[in-house]
Amino acid sequence: MFLLWLMVLVVSLISNSKSDTLCLNNPIIICHCQSGTGSVTCVQSQASNDTSIDWLTFSSPEYESYIFDFINITRLTPDTFTNFRSRFSSLNSLQFRFTNGVDEIAENTFQMLSNYSETHISLTFNSPGNFQLADHAFGQSKYHQILIVDGQQQQTYQLNLKAFERANISGLSIVNCNNIQLIQNEPLSLTIQEVEIKKSSLTNVDLLIQSLSNSLTKLDLSSNKLVHVPSLAKFTGLTDIDLHENLIEEIHANTFINLTRLLRLNLSYNQMKRISHEAFAELHLTILTLNDNHLTSLETVTIHNEKKSFLNPLNQSLTTLVLSNNLLHDFDPIRNLTHLNTLQLCCNQIRGLYEDSFQNAHQLEIIDLSSNHIGSIHPLTFKATKVKHLDLSSNPFSSLETTKIVYDEDFKRKNQTNSFLEHITSTLTNLLLKNCTNLLEINWFLFKHTDILYNLDLSGTPKTDKFWLYQPRNYNDSAVQGQMRQFMVTVMGINFTNNDYCLFKPVFQVLNHTILLLDNDHPCNCFVFMMRNILQMRVPPICLSNQSIIDELSQECMNIDASCAFPTSSTTMSSTLSLSSTSFTTMDSTIPITTIITTIPMTTTIPTTIPTTTTSPTTIPTTTTSPATTTTTSMTATTTKVTTTTKTEESTTSVALTTIVTTLGAAPKDDGKWKTILAIMIPLTVIIVVLSSAGIYIVQKRKKNRSKEAIELRGGLTNIFANK
């Protein structure tokens, strides 16, 4: 039994390893068939003038689809496919790939394929040799695709177009056949739907154009050396033209005449300087790609001395316009493109955006104006659009707001500040302000009303004093504040300091649900440390995984957090507070903001301005108006037990952290919370200063219940000072 199993195993192993079988052996070629598929590899065994192969000798099961790889075959004649049709009677798809050195294809070589009227036929010639094609080499057959790639660079191909006559080809591609030269001895009418001749230094394109019938729908002549657009008027069915990466300098009137079905035109990476205002007359283009040219204007002056633009005729059809990397100073005609959805205007010389810049562009959703010289943005610039994605990166404007002087009823001068963001709050989702090196202030109040903005990129902007500006404005039509949403703010290339944590506090209400994306190598400091719950770092700074740094920061940052409330006396505060240590433990992980104070190791009674109720010596219930919650982002936790001891424990740090994050999570509207710290800290400071200078040893336990205004702490002072 076991032996039988072993034999089966061995047999299956052998059959697995021998998946190729010899299926044709002929003096000219040897073919191997891959078992289970219609994949056949045939290699020419010796160079010979004999080309005859009888396919009735081919031994293999029947498949519906075959891929034949012919390697090193140099000559093809009708004899090469003797009895092919009889051997393979019905096929769904058939692919011939000839790799290396095809020198010659004789007349009607592929005529036998004409019998497969329903078969999907593709021919590929990789690295052909001389590639001499006889007239009608491809016969009267119908091809899905004929692909000729990687011609040998050292020689010029003379491609006989008459080889394709009679055939019906859906797609002809000639790619990377350097120095291809088309030849043709008499007028032809080739039936090819899509022609692609790329990267082949094609020069005599006119011959191709003359030879093609009007069945052409797509023409791709990119990456050649064309200096003008050939006359395409007869191809009335053309929908796509790609002429990118050529040497075209100008588009004359009527160049695309009669191409009323043309939808997409790509003229990028040319030397375009001028486009006639009649170039696209009668066209209904939807996508026009003109990036990386030398255009200085979208308008030309007519003989009647009027300015007209080639874009005007497209005002009802164009949805995507790409004009990046030109030399444009303005883009006035774009305002009339009522159907425009996407505008790429990166890397031009545009200096300002005005009230009417997009006046009639009501469908505009995606705008890239990055890397221009935009110094001012009129508040009404985008009002008529429904812009979702706005890229203003690398522009020199200094503020997102503009201020103008207005006169009120009493003729008093008044500054009125507005922003372009006011009018797009309900549509904007992405705002990119990368590398705006002159952006000196960011009023975060603006983002309070951008209802659905989820991506704000400020990478590389300078971090000025006004980076965290929060200045409420009286906007005319500011939207009702929407639901708090997920909001991602990217601040790569900016180093934040300890001070930023304090400056950030007023902005927190805007950034409540924010993910901040920082550099991975951002230095570790209190900003990073305190914000880490809302930061996202692909690789968090190493320091945040280092416990000793965390310990250090947790101490330092608590003090900073506290000192934020005292901008004037912050230095004395932190130096005083640093006397205290993290030596306390707690039973609760959620601590109200007041627990920061519990690091002071003594038992005392602190009068505060907020009402607190003490129920036991070790429990400090803080009564607030908000409902009790136990989440760390809320500071409304009510009952927390705090026991101050002289023992330093592992849990100490985490408690301290939680406290800080809790502090951050304070509802900003509730200014009383910040005042609370203030109210508690002042008396404490006094006490600490007094106590430390006196160096008194106090162990006291006292219970005081003075009309709800007491916080009671218990602990020993000695050891804390001894530790220091």
Ligand X SMILES: *[C@@H]1O[C@H](CO)[C@@H](O)[C@H](O)[C@H]1NC(C)=O
Residues that bind ligand X (CB under 6 A): 43, 47-49, 71-72, 85-86, 100, 114-115, 142, 168, 170, 191, 233-234, 240, 242, 244, 257-258, 264, 266, 268, 287, 289, 309, 312, 315-316, 332-333, 335-336, 338, 360, 394, 403, 414-415, 435, 437, 484, 493, 495, 509, 512, 523, 667-669
What is the smallest separation between the CB atom of 594 and ligand X, expressed in angstroms?
A: 20
Q: What three-state secondary structure class fits 685?
A: helix
Q: Which is nearer to ligand X, 540 or 617 (CB)?
A: 540
Q: What three-state secondary structure class fits 568?
A: coil
d(CA 156, CA 161) in angstroms, rounded, equals: 15
Contact yes or no for 245/270 (Cβ under 8 A):
yes
What does the H/E/C string look like for 606-625?
Answer: CCCCCCECCCECCEEEECCC
What is the smallest separation between the CB atom of 114 and ligand X, expressed in angstroms?
A: 6
Q: Which is nearer to ligand X, 232 or 560 (CB)?
A: 232
Q: Which is nearer to ligand X, 230 or 617 (CB)?
A: 230
Q: What three-state secondary structure class fits 65?
A: strand
What is the smallest separation between the CB atom of 443 and ligand X, expressed in angstroms?
A: 14
Beta-sheet strands, E only, within 466-606: 466-469, 487-490, 514-517, 535-536, 585-586
Q: Which is nearer to ligand X, 583 or 622 (CB)?
A: 622
Q: Which residue, judged by CB position, is nearest to ligand X in the bound state?
A: 266
b/e per residue 560-577 (b: at least 16 CB within 10 A)? bbbbbbbeeebeebbebb
For residue 531, give every residue at least 6 positions away whose Cβ sits within 8 Å of its Cβ, in sequence order, or none. 501, 504, 516, 664
Element spanning 176, H or E: none
Q: Which is nearer to ligand X, 437 or 572 (CB)?
A: 437
Could you tell me how far CA 543 lies from the centroid of its own chain? 29
Q: Which is nearer to ligand X, 87 or 704 (CB)?
A: 87
Q: Which is nearer to ligand X, 230 or 493 (CB)?
A: 493
Look at the block and give the residue holding tokens 């975060």.
444
What is the smallest separation between the CB atom of 229 and ligand X, expressed in angstroms?
A: 13
Beta-sheet strands, E only, within 247-286: 250-251, 264-266, 274-275
What is the smallest separation between the CB atom of 476 and ligand X, expressed in angstroms?
A: 18
What is the smallest separation between the CB atom of 13 and ligand X, expressed in angstroms?
A: 27
What is the smallest separation between the CB atom of 112 and ligand X, expressed in angstroms?
A: 8
- For helices 570-577 and 671-694, the axis angle rounded to 10 degrees is 60
Contact yes or no for 126/94 (Cβ under 8 A):
no
Q: Which is nearer to ligand X, 21 or 115 (CB)?
A: 115
d(CA 529, CA 541) in angstroms, rounded, equals: 10
d(CA 6, CA 11) in angstroms, rounded, equals: 9
Q: Which is nearer to ligand X, 177 or 322 (CB)?
A: 322
Q: Which is nearer to ligand X, 322 or 713 (CB)?
A: 322
Q: Which is nearer to ligand X, 266 or 599 (CB)?
A: 266
What is the smallest separation between the CB atom of 309 and ligand X, expressed in angstroms?
A: 6
Closest CA to 424 of 460, 470, 477, 467: 477
Q: Which is nearer to ligand X, 139 or 715 (CB)?
A: 139
What is the smallest separation between the CB atom of 44 and ligand X, expressed in angstroms?
A: 7
Distances (CA, A) of 698 to 123, 296, 500, 617, 683: 96, 81, 37, 17, 17
What is the smallest separation between the CB atom of 437 and ligand X, expressed in angstroms?
A: 5
Contact yes or no for 611/708 (Cβ under 8 A):
yes
What is the smallest separation between the CB atom of 245 and ligand X, expressed in angstroms?
A: 7
Name the pairing type of β-strands 29-34 and 218-220. Answer: unpaired
What is the smallest separation between the CB atom of 307 and ligand X, expressed in angstroms?
A: 8
DSSP secondary structure of 282-351: T---SEEE--SS----SEEE-TTS-EEETTGGGTTT--EEE--SS--S--GGGGG-TT--EEE--SS---
